[in-house]
């Protein structure tokens, strides 16, 4: 048996996944994945879902690159993205074999809001022949499975940040006509299709919009429908309002405030714990050693590649 050497295939592959890539400059536009929304929950607290306005500002303005900061992605994020992409590839291949595939990676551009995006796939209903847009997502872990697949105490629902992205697709494609099998058709609704990477648990949600004239001061608005049930938290127009706010900051050259915090104040920790949003073990660890076990928004702690130029030691740098 040969002794182990210093050659680590895992480390080398991680280094390749996180390598610096060459990108040609493109016209700055906003992405559907950067959608966000603000609303008030049942207790009156303001909530934010979706991409942090500051993170979107950093990307579209190229702020970090202009400051000479080299952005490094981490292996975890790259692998999560790659695995999720392959779930999409597998599903598209299955739909092609089933004869319901129409198109995939369909690009669009919304000039009014300067949003550039790409729809994962469009399929044809096997019975009615109507067109349906799809957004494929992967997930893992107990909490995500509980939310997406539900259990005895939880009604299944899509992740809000991902729902926002899909609502942009619904709006962009609901009035466009396409020729399919010699007939003019429009996309009737979108399906969010979820598959778990760890257990192969899966679920799907039908996403559409319904007109809402309940606020005369704002005119006709549009509420999200999830499996035919209205989501009362916000309107489609609230999502576009956030893009407009981002655009104002971009045009003014002004950095927006962050929407999330890597370290919550003690008051916020207790408030969120009282609402059942902090796990018991996490809360107990924080109580014993708060500095060693900080509690904050996961959007800052795990996934944001701008966190090192935005925050340091839990304190805002900009």
Among candidate residues 120, 131, 127, the one with its CA nearest the CA of residue 90: 120
Among candidate residues 132, 235, 141, the one with its CA nearest the CA of residue 192: 132
Q: What is the DSSP letter of 57?
A: H
In a domain, 150, yes or no: yes
In a domain, 87, yes or no: yes
Q: Residues 285-315, buried b or exposed e (16+ Cβ, 10 A)?
A: ebeeeeeeebbbbebbbeebebbebbbeeee
Residues recorded for the chain? 318
154-210 confidence digits (pLDDT tens): 999 999 999 999 999 999 999 899 999 899 999 989 999 999 988 889 999 999 999
> Alpha helix locations (H) across the chain?
9-17, 53-61, 63-66, 75-98, 142-149, 160-173, 236-252, 266-274, 280-288, 298, 307-310
Mean of the per-residue pLDDT values of the chain: 90
In a domain, 167, yes or no: yes
Give the Cα separation of 278 and 272 in Å (integer): 6
Q: Residues 241-256, buried b or exposed e (16+ Cβ, 10 A)?
A: ebbeebeebbeeeeeb
Domain count along the chain: 1
For residues 130 and 185, the answer to whether their CB atoms sit within 8 Å is yes
In a domain, 81, yes or no: yes
In a domain, 315, yes or no: no
In a domain, 20, yes or no: no
In a domain, 180, yes or no: yes
pTM of the complete model beyond 0.85 = yes
257-298 confidence digits (pLDDT tens): 999 999 999 999 999 999 888 989 999 999 999 999 999 998
Domain residue limits at 119: 73-253
pLDDT band at 24 (very low <50, low <70, confident <90, very high): very low
Beta-carbon count within 10 A of 135 CB = 23
Beta-carbon count within 10 A of 59 CB = 18
3-state secondary structure of 165: helix
Beta-carbon count within 10 A of 165 CB = 21
What is the average pLDDT across 145-162?
Answer: 95
What is the average pLDDT across 61-83?
Answer: 81
- What are the φ and ψ backbone dihedral angles of 152, each rounded to 5 degrees? -60, -30
In three-state form (DSSP H/G/I as H, E/B as E, the rest C), the secondary structure along 182-211 is CEEEEEEEEEEEEEECCCCCEEEEEEEEEE
In a domain, 23, yes or no: no
């Amino acid at each position: 048996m040969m002794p182990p050497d210093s050659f680590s295939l895992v480390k080398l592959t991680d280094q390749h996944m996180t390598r610096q890539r060459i990108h040609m400059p493109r016209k700055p536009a906003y992405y559907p994945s950067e959608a966000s929304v603000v609303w008030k929950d049942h207790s009156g607290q303001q909530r934010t879902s979706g991409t942090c306005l500051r993170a979107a500002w950093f990307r579209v303005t190229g702020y970090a690159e202009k400051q000479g900061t080299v952005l490094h992605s981490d292996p975890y994020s790259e692998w999560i993205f790659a695995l999720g992409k392959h779930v999409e590839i597998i599903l598209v291949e299955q739909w092609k074999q089933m004869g319901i595939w129409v198109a995939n990676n369909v690009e669009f551009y919304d000039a009014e809001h300067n949003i550039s995006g790409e729809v994962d796939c469009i399929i044809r209903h096997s019975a009615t022949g109507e067109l349906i847009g799809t957004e494929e997502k992967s997930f893992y872990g107990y909490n995500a499975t509980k939310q997406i697949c539900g259990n005895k105490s939880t009604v299944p629902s899509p992740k809000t940040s991902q729902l926002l992205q899909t609502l942009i697709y619904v709006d962009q494609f609901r009035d466009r006509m396409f020729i399919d099998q010699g007939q003019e058709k429009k996309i009737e609704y979108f399906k969010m299709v979820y598959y778990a990477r760890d257990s192969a648990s899966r679920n799907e949600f039908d996403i559409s919009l319904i007109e809402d004239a309940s606020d005369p001061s704002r005119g006709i608005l549009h509420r999200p429908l999830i499996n035919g049930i209205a989501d009362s938290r916000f309107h489609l127009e609230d999502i576009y309002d956030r893009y407009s706010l981002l655009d104002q900051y971009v045009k003014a050259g002004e950095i927006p405030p962050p929407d999330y915090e890597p370290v919550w104040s003690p008051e916020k920790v207790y408030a969120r714990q009282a609402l059942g949003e902090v796990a018991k073990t996490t809360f107990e660890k924080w109580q014993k050693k708060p500095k060693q076990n900080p509690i904050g928004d996961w959007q800052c702690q795990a996934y944001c590649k701008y966190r090192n130029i935005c925050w340091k030691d839990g304190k805002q740098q900009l």
